């Protein structure tokens, strides 16, 4: 007997397009679960009609797309075999049933793989969607080293054996889907992209994505790390400038080395404290994380100082400008090593899902 295919459709204040999608999914052979994410009584009519084609789970208060997805995945996991496949499908008409079937079939052939229905953003695409996906693509690639065409797609398929790993990911709203990609990439789960049609109805007017609020949720981890690094940079830069002045009599190279080492000693203590307690909120004892952090700081200091000496002493670039260039070069390296190897208590990009 072949794998069963489940379609999971999270829905919040859906339009009539949901009722067009469900019979098409049923025709493609899907068992369908719709999760009403607190749409309210004015949408009860749509969900009553949806029950002709699907199981419907409902709760009274809007809790977010991530919450709806996890609730639906848990419901399916209790009923499915591990080789069955679940496909998440958006309710706003962006996904075709035929594309959902194609990525379900691809996932059935590759148990343990996350299959993404990837749009290539051809034709008329809303600017916020094109821009948002470009930003998340860049962050994802910097964070994981993996290149994806579409990190924001809601059309995704996994074998049901992967559901526990997917449900363990933090996040209750739109940030959850990005967190899933980051978490599974970190676990070494393979990804596969299948090209799907890019569909936006009425410039995506049916979407409930709040550009500012939900973007902050998605990018919160990198924003927190950036703000921590920026504050640490100001501390480092101020101490560096002061020490350059105080050690100017030592000569160019000696002054640069003394100023950079002294500044980094001060700023690294500040940065460790902020990152441990605020950015990553790591619960491990400082006796475990501090040695690793300061070893990283020492390695980055050595590399930073060599780059700085080359830029300022070798190329003759202004010493303050050279310092800024060197800091930018080591920013993402520092972030990734801290997230992956030092602060495991809470991953930065997967934290603060509320």
Tell the residue number behind the tokens 């990609």, with chain if given.
181
| Cα(241)–Cα(223) distance, integer angstroms | 26
| Cα(29)–Cα(155) distance, integer angstroms | 17
DSSP E strands: which ranges in the chain?
5-11, 31-37, 55-59, 85-88, 114-118, 156-159, 191-195
Cα separations in angstroms, 173 against 2, 210, 217, 267:
33, 11, 8, 35
Closest C-alpha among 126, 149, 121, 119 to residue 136: 149
114-118 and 55-59 beta bridge pairing: unpaired
Structure tokens, 339: 């997230």
SS3 48: helix
Q: What is the pLDDT of residue 300?
A: 82
| Long-range CB contacts for residues 134-138, cutoff 8 Å, separation at least 24 | 135/219, 136/178, 136/218
156-159 and 114-118 beta bridge pairing: antiparallel
The DSSP annotation for 235-278 comes to HHHHHHHHHHHHTGGG-HHHHHHHHHHHHHHHHHHHHHHHIIII
Averaged confidence pLDDT in the chain = 81
pLDDT, tens digit, 9 for 90 and up, residues 109-124:
999 999 999 876 555 5
Q: What is the mean pLDDT of residues 248-255?
A: 78
CATH code reported for the domain at 5-209: 3.90.550.10
pLDDT, tens digit, 9 for 90 and up, residues 178-237:
888 878 887 889 999 999 886 655 544 445 445 455 455 556 655 565 566 678 778 888
pLDDT, tens digit, 9 for 90 and up, residues 307-330:
888 888 778 888 778 877 887 777
Q: What is the mean pLDDT of residues 256-265?
A: 83
Q: What is the pLDDT of residue 354?
A: 35
Complete edge-to-edge strand list for the sheet that includes strand 85-88: 55-59, 31-37, 5-11, 85-88, 156-159, 114-118, 191-195
Range in 39-48, 130-139, 197-206 the model is least confident about: 197-206
Listed by start position, the domains of the chain span 5-209, 218-350
């Amino acid at each position: 007997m072949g794998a069963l295919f489940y379609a999971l459709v999270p829905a919040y204040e859906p339009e009539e397009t949901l009722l067009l999608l469900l019979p098409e999914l049923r025709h493609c052979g899907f068992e369908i679960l719709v999760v009403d994410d607190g749409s309210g009584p004015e949408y009860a009519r749509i969900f009553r009609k949806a029950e002709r084609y699907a199981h419907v789970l409902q709760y009274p208060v809007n809790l977010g797309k991530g919450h709806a997805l996890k609730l639906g995945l848990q419901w399916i996991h209790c009923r499915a075999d591990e080789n069955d496949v679940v496909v998440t499908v958006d309710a706003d008409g962006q996904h075709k049933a035929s594309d959902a079937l194609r990525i379900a079939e691809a996932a059935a052939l590759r148990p343990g793989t996350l299959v993404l229905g990837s749009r290539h953003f051809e034709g008329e695409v809303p600017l916020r969607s094109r821009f948002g996906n470009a930003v998340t693509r860049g962050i994802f690639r910097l964070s994981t080293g993996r290149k994806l065409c579409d990190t924001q797609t809601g059309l995704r398929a996994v074998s049901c054996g992967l559901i526990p790993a997917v449900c363990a990911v933090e996040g209750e709203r739109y940030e959850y889907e990005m967190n899933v990609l980051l978490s599974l990439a970190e676990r070494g789960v393979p990804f596969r992209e299948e090209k799907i049609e890019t569909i936006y109805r009425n410039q995506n007017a049916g979407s409930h994505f709040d550009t500012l609020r939900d973007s902050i949720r998605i990018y919160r981890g990198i924003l927190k790390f950036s703000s921590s690094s920026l504050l640490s940079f100001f501390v480092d830069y101020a101490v560096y400038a002061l020490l350059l002045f105080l050690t100017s009599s030592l000569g160019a190279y000696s002054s640069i080395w003394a100023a950079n080492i002294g500044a980094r000693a001060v700023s690294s203590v500040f940065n460790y404290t902020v990152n441990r307690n605020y950015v990553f909120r790591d619960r491990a004892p400082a006796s475990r994380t501090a040695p690793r952090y300061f070893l990283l700081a020492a390695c980055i200091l050595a590399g930073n100082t060599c780059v700085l000496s080359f830029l300022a002493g070798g190329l003759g670039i202004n010493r303050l400008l050279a310092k800024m260039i060197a800091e930018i070069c080591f920013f993402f390296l520092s972030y990734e090593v801290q997230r992956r190897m030092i602060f495991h208590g809470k991953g930065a990009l997967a934290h603060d899902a509320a």
